[in-house]
């Protein structure tokens, strides 16, 4: 029997499809499936004794070792299995080496990292690091390198797509990752320039009003973290919660782990690239961290000749040190970047004829240390505080609880002690570097930083607000958060007793905004006062009148009030500094606006009600342009949508989108407990139960692994998104697989 031409054609097509499928599957296996983390079996490693790693249902490694070095070695190895590209990308980001793999698109980031001197700071820190901490970093680095060296032909997909192999890991690389948090969380130099530029063309009194350091309503003491004493809980033991707010990323910034070795039994979130646990609990204490947001950067205007590096200081000529940076650029010749370094720091910003050097607390000799392993081992408040005395920063709020029923709070970090022989100096503006009048007088002593232990209320709550009392003896400056989140947390925690750990998820995911509700009431009151009866505004006013202040994604009112806030903020900034309003996005802006609307001082606006009505008109018109003329169909979530894209795979045609998250509508705002914007949100949520560690909860934002075909790549996102969490397995571990590390 002969086959027809059509049948033969079908056969050939089917064969071609089969070959293409086989080739595609082969590619997927070789480049994506083969590099997946090893979760079971045995690995010969440079450990002194066997080490077991039990992976639970979320892919969290529970590491049990006979000594600390082996535990940290294995921590480095298993972290590299899941996050090697993230480790390499972070050290390149902060070392100024992105252009080497990305080409010219990475140059701007590299130039800033080189100006900040991050790798040089890390190299200097290596020399002064206490020997025990250097040994811990070295053990971790050996584990990362053990993975790299055994997988050079089996690397995660990103390395294949970008066409390079990672260099060996070093202690300096781990220190660079520590400095990444400094870089991310201490950026007040930008605020100095914004304020300076507004003052150049604005009313000084008004501009200073726009940049307050406190609201007058700050909760003492001042990401979210709180501790509840046993008097408020069902178990009679404390509960401690923490959700750190950071920029979105795939994978997320935190990696969950549990480490056991003699003298160490600690679980929580780790910072990939560094040893130990950053936030979590051991057998006796739990702790959380939020950003203090204290100003640890100052800009000094120098009289410097860039040809010679000579500059003036206290009437004498000094010689700046010249550092030459070579930035390798993929596909292009390397770029040379000379940097002059003065006694205040590197020449960092040039505006007009002004050349400004950046002084940064972390760049001061001997500042960088890593006492978090001592925190991991602390057994009580005194040991916890002793570890924090060496904490370099970024300036942080530490919240504490222990199984004996104690709760506490302490600010920590190397915070500059500013003095001035002339005009008052807080660090909020660039200052004269030639006189010596604005040099730092060391750092504020640890025992003089804000703290509290077992307050009578039984509640400690921090939400990035200013924790320093008004009569604090040293100048206080920073980009502190307005008090709305802190007040809301305290109100919710005080609303009833008998708290359980799962109940606190409702607090962490709360999206009520007292500021937005206040602004809505002001807009409605202005409309009623004028008896406007404007048909074009009636639906908007009715919407705001019936709104409860919840910034929910499926509601229209939060969208309208957000637009109104933006227009009002612009009007206020324009009144203070005409032509410079676009740059005003200071953290305390909501407090500024509320104060103006409550007090209505003369000199800002002829008629505040007219201002509010015009704000409402502008917001409604903008809303119609964005989401259509039917206000009832508006949705806040259509405006607050986020996309969390993989930095490399996102660019792969056709399939890249499957490795991303979004576009996703979000609830919350910058003034809600669930602080959510287009750039940041809670990066993890922990609720520690001091009555029973296994009733504690922990989840990260996206998942444990950065490997795209791992079952833990983004398995946590659906629950994170709706506000669910998972048991923080500690004593009772539901093991899914076990990996053994055997001595060679």
Confidence bin at 220 (pLDDT 50/70/90)? very low
Note the pLDDT of residue 222. 34
Mean pLDDT of 154-171: 95
Confidence band (pLDDT; 50, 70, 90) for 662? confident
Burial string for 569-605 (b: 16+ CB within 10 Å, else e) reads: bebbbebbbeebbeebebbbbbbbbbbbbeeeeeebb
pLDDT digits (tens, 9 = 90+) for 238-295: 999 999 999 999 999 999 999 999 999 999 999 999 999 999 999 999 999 999 999 9
Q: Residue 183: is its pLDDT beyond 50?
A: yes
Kindly tell me if the per-residue pLDDT of 31 is higher than 70.
no
Mean pLDDT of 671-700: 97
If pLDDT is split at 50, 70 and 90, which confidence band does 35 have?
confident
**Does 538 have pLDDT greater than 70?**
yes
In this prediction, residue 588 carries a pLDDT of 93
Q: Which of 154, 166, 408 is nearest to 285 (CA)?
A: 408
CB 270 within 8 A of CB 277: yes
The reported pLDDT for the residue numbered 29 is 55
The mean pLDDT of 110-121, rounded to a whole number, is 97
The Cα–Cα gap between 678 and 680 comes to 6
pLDDT above 70 covers a percentage of the chain that reads: 94
Contact 395, 415 (CB under 8 A): yes
Mean pLDDT computed over 322-334: 97
Q: Report pLDDT for 26.
A: 58
How far is it between the farthest Cα atoms of the chain?
Answer: 106
What mean pLDDT, rounded, does the chain reach?
93
CA distance 266 to 286: 9
Q: Is a pLDDT exceeding 60 seen at residue 100?
A: yes
Q: Please tell me the predicted confidence (pLDDT) of residue 536.
A: 84
- Beta-bridged to residue 440, according to DSSP, are 418
Instruction: Please report which confidence band the pLDDT of residue 654 belongs to, taking 50, 70 and 90 as the band edges.
Output: confident
Per-residue pLDDT, averaged over 334-346, amounts to: 97
Q: Is residue 350 within a helix (H) or strand (E), and if so which, with residue range?
A: strand 345-351
Q: What is the pLDDT of residue 11?
A: 61
Q: Does the structural domain 514-639 have CATH classification 1.10.1400.10?
A: yes
Please, which pLDDT band fits residue 27 given cuts at 50, 70 and 90? low
Rounded to 10°, the helix 131-150/68-95 angle is: 80
pLDDT at residue 186, rounded to an integer: 87
Share of the chain above pLDDT 90, in %: 88
Closest CA to 90 of 111, 103, 64, 109: 109
pLDDT confidence tier of residue 218, bands split at 50, 70 and 90: very low
Per-residue pLDDT, 221: 40
CATH class label, 40-185+219-509+664-744: alpha beta
Task: With beta carbons less than 8 A apart as the criterion, state whether 70 and 156 touch.
Answer: no
Statement: residue 21 has pLDDT above 60: no
pLDDT value for 213: 80
pLDDT band at 187 (very low <50, low <70, confident <90, very high): confident
The answer to whether the CB of 397 falls within 8 A of the CB of 221 is yes
Mean pLDDT calculated for residue range 41-56 = 97
With a cut of 90, say whether residue 467 has pLDDT above it.
Answer: yes
> Average of pLDDT values for 211-226?
67
pLDDT at position 582: 87
Mind listing the pLDDT tens digit for each residue in 549-601? 999 999 999 999 999 999 999 999 999 999 998 889 899 999 999 999 999 99
Residue given tokens 């104690």 in the structure block = 406
- The answer on pLDDT for 645 being more than 60 is yes
Residue of 352 and 376 predicted with greater confidence: 376
Parse the chain into domains and list their residue ranges: 40-185+219-509+664-744, 514-639
The arithmetic mean of pLDDT across residues 602-621, rounded, is 97
Check pLDDT > 80 for residue 460: yes
Nearest to 318 by CA among 401, 147, 436: 436
């Amino acid at each position: 029997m002969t086959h027809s031409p059509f049948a033969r054609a079908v056969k050939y097509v089917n064969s071609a499809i089969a070959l293409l499928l086989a080739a595609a599957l082969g590619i997927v296996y070789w480049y994506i499936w083969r590099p997946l983390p090893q979760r079971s079996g045995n690995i010969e490693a440079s450990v002194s004794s066997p080490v077991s790693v039990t992976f639970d249902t979320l892919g969290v490694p529970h590491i049990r070792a006979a000594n600390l070095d082996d535990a940290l070695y294995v921590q480095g190895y298993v972290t590299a299995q899941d996050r090697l590209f993230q480790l390499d990308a972070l050290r390149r980001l902060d070392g100024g080496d992105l252009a080497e793999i990305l080409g010219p698109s990475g140059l701007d980031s590299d130039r800033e990292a080189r100006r900040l001197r991050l790798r040089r700071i890390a190299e200097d820190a290596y020399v002064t690091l206490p020997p025990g901490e250097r040994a811990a970093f070295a053990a971790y680095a050996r584990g990362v390198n053990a993975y790299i060296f055994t997988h050079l032909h089996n690397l995660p997909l990103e390395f294949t797509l970008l066409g390079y192999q990672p260099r060996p890991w070093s202690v300096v690389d781990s220190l660079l990752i520590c400095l990444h948090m400094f870089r991310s969380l201490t950026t007040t130099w930008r605020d100095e320039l914004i304020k300076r530029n507004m003052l150049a063309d604005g009313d000084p009194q008004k501009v200073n009003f726009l940049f307050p350091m406190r609201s007058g309503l700050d909760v003492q003491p001042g990401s979210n973290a709180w501790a509840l004493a046993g008097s408020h809980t069902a178990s009679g033991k404390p509960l401690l919660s923490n959700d750190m707010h950071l920029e979105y990323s795939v994978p997320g910034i935190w990696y969950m782990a549990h480490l056991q070795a003699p003298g160490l039994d600690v679980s929580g979130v780790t910072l990939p690239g560094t040893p130990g646990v950053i936030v979590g609990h051991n057998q006796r204490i739990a702790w959380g961290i939020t950003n203090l947001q204290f100003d640890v950067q100052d800009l000094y205007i120098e009289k410097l000749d860039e040809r010679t590096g000579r500059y003036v200081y206290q009437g004498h000529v000094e010689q700046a040190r010249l550092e030459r940076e070579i930035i390798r650029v993929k596909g292009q010749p390397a770029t040379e970047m000379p940097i002059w370094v003065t006694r205040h720091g590197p020449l960092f910003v040039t505006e007009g004829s002004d050349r400004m050097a950046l002084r940064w607390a972390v760049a001061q000799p001997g500042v960088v240390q890593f006492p978090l392993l001592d925190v991991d081992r602390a057994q009580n408040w005194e040991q916890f505080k002793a570890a924090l005395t060496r904490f370099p920063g970024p300036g942080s709020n530490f919240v504490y609880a222990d199984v004996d029923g104690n709760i506490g709070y302490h600010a920590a970090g190397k915070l500059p002690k500013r003095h001035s022989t002339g005009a008052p100096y807080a660090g909020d503006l660039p200052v004269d570097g030639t006189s010596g009048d604005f040099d730092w007088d060391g750092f504020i002593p640890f025992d003089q930083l804000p703290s509290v232990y077992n307050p009578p209320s039984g509640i400690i709550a921090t939400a990035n607000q200013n924790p320093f009392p008004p009569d604090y003896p040293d100048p206080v400056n920073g980009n502190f958060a307005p008090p709305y989140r802190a007040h809301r947390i305290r109100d919710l925690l005080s609303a009833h007793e008998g708290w359980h750990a799962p109940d606190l998820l409702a607090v962490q995911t709360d999206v009520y905004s007292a500021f937005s509700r206040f602004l809505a009431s002001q807009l409605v009151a202005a409309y009623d006062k004028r008896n406007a009866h404007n048909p074009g505004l009636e639906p908007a006013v009715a919407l705001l009148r019936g709104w409860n202040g919840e910034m929910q994604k499926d509601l229209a009112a939060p969208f309208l009030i957000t637009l109104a806030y933006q227009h009002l903020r612009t009007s206020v900034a324009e009144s203070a500094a005409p032509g410079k309003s676009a740059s005003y996005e200071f953290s305390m802006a909501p407090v500024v606006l509320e104060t103006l609307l409550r007090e209505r001082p003369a000199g800002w606006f002829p008629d505040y009600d007219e201002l509010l009505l015009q704000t409402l008109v502008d917001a409604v018109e903008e809303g119609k342009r964005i989401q259509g003329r039917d206000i009832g169909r508006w949705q806040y979530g259509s405006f607050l949508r986020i996309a969390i894209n993989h930095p490399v795979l996102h660019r792969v045609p056709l399939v890249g989108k499957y490795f991303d998250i979004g576009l996703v509508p979000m609830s919350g705002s910058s003034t809600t407990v669930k602080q959510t914007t287009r750039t940041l949100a809670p990066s993890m949520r922990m609720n520690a139960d001091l009555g029973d560690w296994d009733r504690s909860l922990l989840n990260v934002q996206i998942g444990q692994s950065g490997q795209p075909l791992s079952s833990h790549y983004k398995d946590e996102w659906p629950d994170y998104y709706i506000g669910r969490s998972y048991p923080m397995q500690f004593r009772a571990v539901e093991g899914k697989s076990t990996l053994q590390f055997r001595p060679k």
